Amino acid sequence: MTDVGIHNAFFDRIRQALAGGGKRTPAPPIPPAQAHAPGQDLGAQFGAALEAVGGRFVTVCSCSELQGYLRGLIHHHGIRSVALSDAPLLGALGLPQWLSQEVECVLPAQSHRLPFADFKRSLAQVDLGVTGCEFAIADTGTVVISSAERNRLISLLPAIHVVVFTREQLIGELAEVLSRLREPSRSAVTLITGPSRSGDIEMTLTLGVHGPREMYAICVPESALP
């Protein structure tokens, strides 16, 4: 059968199934988004939600505090290689240069030139992935990353994922985020809420089965940017 033929046969069955039904009515209205109390501390709410699922949240006040925290992570986990996404925020914070002094190997400078097949294999050897995000949803402790920043795999392959965002990126709930995500440029958007988990063996929770075992979210103020 031709493609058109296949398509028509498929739809014939569906239309026949629906024939004789009552009048078609419009889609139910979308419930209005909840208004947020102005004084609400979205950062605290985000942190509580993320920590409840095994992620870690920290707020820093300056670039040097950020660097101190990352240095601590690097030592604690014995991190030797890092990959950075293209998030402008990371560049604005001077992270690529700073990190290349702290660890043996930093990936981003090479990633654009590498063919995808080689990129993914190098990335699989990296200890830490650092990305930005589009939004951080306070309601559920979720960060929203989009493929526009080449962070799809950096937030997934290394065993440790650090995501950095500014206070201004904090949003109350998912409904608000979705209304902003309609642009066609993104082929993949991922909502990340904490580390990877599984309960498949004897209903016992293990972290890091496929995705990162640990996930850190760091909130920096806009004022930290030079």
Partner 1 sequence: MPVDSAGHGKPGSAHAGRQSSVPSFRASARSALAQPALLRAVSLATSKFVSARQQTVAQTPGFEEAREQAHQIKQHVLRNLDRYLEEFAARVEERGGQVHWAADASDACAYIAAVAAENGARRVVKSKSMVSEEIELNQALESRGLEVTETDLGEYIIQLAGEKPSHLLAPALHKSRSEVGKLFAQELGMAYTDNIEQLAAAARRTLRHKFLDAELGVSGVNFGIAETGTIVILENEGNARLTTSLPRIHVAVMGAEKLIPRLQDLVVFLKLLPRSATGQTMTSYVSLITGAKTHSADEGPEQLHVVILDNGRSRLLADEVQREALFCIRCGACLNICPVYRSAGGHSYGWVYQGPIGALITPQLSGNESASELPFASSLCGACLEVCPVKINIPSLLLDLRSKVAVAHQPPSSRREAMLAAGFSFVMRHPAWYRLLAAVARRLQRLALKDGAMRTSSVPLLSAWTESRDFPAMAPRSFDQIWREELRG
CB of 66 to partner 1, least distance (A): 25
Q: Smaller CB distance to partner 1: residue 63 or 151?
A: 151
Q: Smaller CB distance to partner 1: residue 64 or 179?
A: 179
Q: Are strands 56-59 and 142-146 parallel, antiparallel or unpaired?
A: unpaired
> Distance between terminal CA atoms of the chain?
63
Distance (Å, whole) CA 194 – CA 198: 12
- Rule CB under 8 A: say whether 110 interacts with partner 1: no
* Structure token digits, residue 40: 């609400």
Distance (Å, whole) CA 27 – CA 93: 46
Q: Smaller CB distance to partner 1: residue 66 or 196?
A: 196
Contact with partner 1 (CB under 8 A) among 36, 56, 77, 197: 197
Residue type, 79: I
- Region 146-175 residues binding partner 1, contact defined as CB under 8 A: 147, 150, 152-153, 156-157, 174-175
Question: Which stretch, 3-11, 60-68, 69-77, 102-110, contacts partner 1 (CB under 8 A)?
Answer: 3-11
- Rule CB under 8 A: say whether 200 interacts with partner 1: yes
Contact with partner 1 (CB under 8 A) among 184, 221, 222, 224: 184
- Contact at 8 Å (CB) between 84 and 96? yes
Q: Smaller CB distance to partner 1: residue 169 or 196?
A: 196
CB burial of 23-60 (b: ≥16 within 10 Å; e: otherwise) equals eeeeeeeeeeeeeeeeeeebeebbbebbeeebbbbeeb
- Rule CB under 8 A: say whether 198 interacts with partner 1: yes
79 alpha-carbon distance from chain centroid: 21
- Rule CB under 8 A: say whether 201 interacts with partner 1: yes
Q: How many residues bind partner 1 (CB under 8 A)?
A: 68
- How many Cα atoms occupy the beta-carbon half-sphere of 75 within 13 Å? 5
Of residues 181, 165, 191, 153, the one with CA closest to residue 89: 165
Interface contacts to partner 1, rule CB under 8 A: 6-7, 9-11, 13-18, 21, 24-28, 30-31, 49, 53, 112, 116, 119-121, 124, 140-142, 147, 150, 152-153, 156-157, 174-175, 178-179, 181-182, 184, 186-204, 206, 208-212
